[in-house]
Amino acid sequence: IIRGCCNSAPSTAARMSLITPRPAMFRPMVAPMRVFSTENDKRGGHDGEKIDFGFQQVDWEQKQGKVGEVFSSVADSYDVMNDAMSLGVHRLWKNTFVEAIGPLKRRKVLNSDYEVVDEVPLKVLDVAGGTGDISFKILDKARRDDTAAGKPSVDIIVSDINPDMLEVGKKRAVERGIFHDLNFKVINAEDLSDIESDSLDLYTISFGIRNVPDRLKALREAHRCLRRGGRFMCLEFSEVIVPGLKQFYDFYSFNVIPELGRAIADDKDSYQYLVESIKMFPKQAEFAMMIEDAGFKCVSYTNMTGGIVALHTGYKL
């Protein structure tokens, strides 16, 4: 039993909106109990604080700009570099991530007597989704899962704080003939003020949360925007748990990936930041605790490829 589910069972209405997960590739780990609180929650700011930017310490207000410079620099070569760095394995990770969502079919709307009165598309927000990889896969899956003509089963917003990354996604969507099936918006994960509370069925973020300065704030915004029964899903680099693989992965990360960045993207520094940011990101259990502290229930994570990446999930109940 995943902790939290048995004590907070969703209502009938919530169950009707729940996106049911399929069995994961690997056994999910249950998040341990822990409560996070910071002085920043009390005073509402980070003035004068330092934060990691890779292995560097920078002023809090500088990090977002520096991350923006990194992704503006690599936007045009981003997809090619993903293939080169992961030897194509990132495609398998993302496929597993999207398949773990479960069936994508229109949400049933109930009246006060719990009778079905309508069916509406699932509302999906793909955060840090710039180049469109995850959104494209979700759209493809939705079309496979729900084939009723003329009634799309998903309404997807592809969001990113970086306009250059979004432009790449828009171009790719045009090439695939699906531009008008998606909504592209510049959105900061820490401020989803454009998204109504209790309006989303699914929130996804893939390889993006580690670049968010205030992760807890972003998680709380995700929780606010999801409806009861809605699901948070995050795919992120994590701590390798296989000893032999860990040594190889560390060597590859710090010695090969930056050089690939130099050769393919003419930008070694951005990919040096990439590998450093992975090292600085919380371990799987610690990040799962943060997800719980944001208000999510039934929080768990699933390691892939020995922990190189982890799929985190939680529900708003």
Check pLDDT > 50 for residue 66. yes
> What is the predicted pLDDT for the residue at 34?
43
> What is the predicted pLDDT for the residue at 149?
55
Rounded to 5 degrees, φ, ψ at 315 are: -125, 150
Report how far residue 66's alpha carbon sits from residue 71's, in angstroms, rounded to the nearest whole number: 9
| Predicted model pTM | 0.84
Dihedral sign, Cα of residue 78, residue 83, residue 84, residue 90: positive
> What is the predicted pLDDT for the residue at 26?
42
> What is the predicted pLDDT for the residue at 179?
96
Check pLDDT > 70 for residue 109. yes
Q: Which CATH number fits domain 63-239+285-315: 3.90.190.10, 3.40.50.11810, 3.40.50.150, 3.30.70.890?
A: 3.40.50.150
| Higher pLDDT among residues 230 and 48, named by residue | 230
> What is the predicted pLDDT for the residue at 295?
98
Q: Are 298 and 229 in contact (CB under 8 A)?
A: no
State how beta strands 50-53 and 122-127 pair: unpaired
Question: pLDDT for 242-290, tens place per residue?
Answer: 989 999 999 999 999 999 988 988 889 888 988 999 999 999 999 999 9
Kindly list the domain boundaries of the chain, sorted by start residue.
63-239+285-315
* Three-state SS sequence of the chain: CCCCCCCCCCCHHHHHHCCCCCCCCCCCEECCCCCCCCHHHHHCCCCCCEEEECCEEEEHHHHHHHHHHHHHHHHHHHHHHHHHHHCCHHHHHHHHHHHCCCCCCCEEEECCCCCEEEEECEEEEEECCCCCHHHHHHHHHHHHHCCCCCCCCEEEEEEECCHHHHHHHHHHHHHHCCHHHEEEEECECCECCCCCCCCEEEEEEECCHHHCCCHHHHHHHHHHHEEEEEEEEEEEECCCCCHHHHHHHHHHHHHCHHHHHHHHHCCHHHHHHHHHHHHHCCCHHHHHHHHHHCCCEEEEEEEEHHHCEEEEEEECC
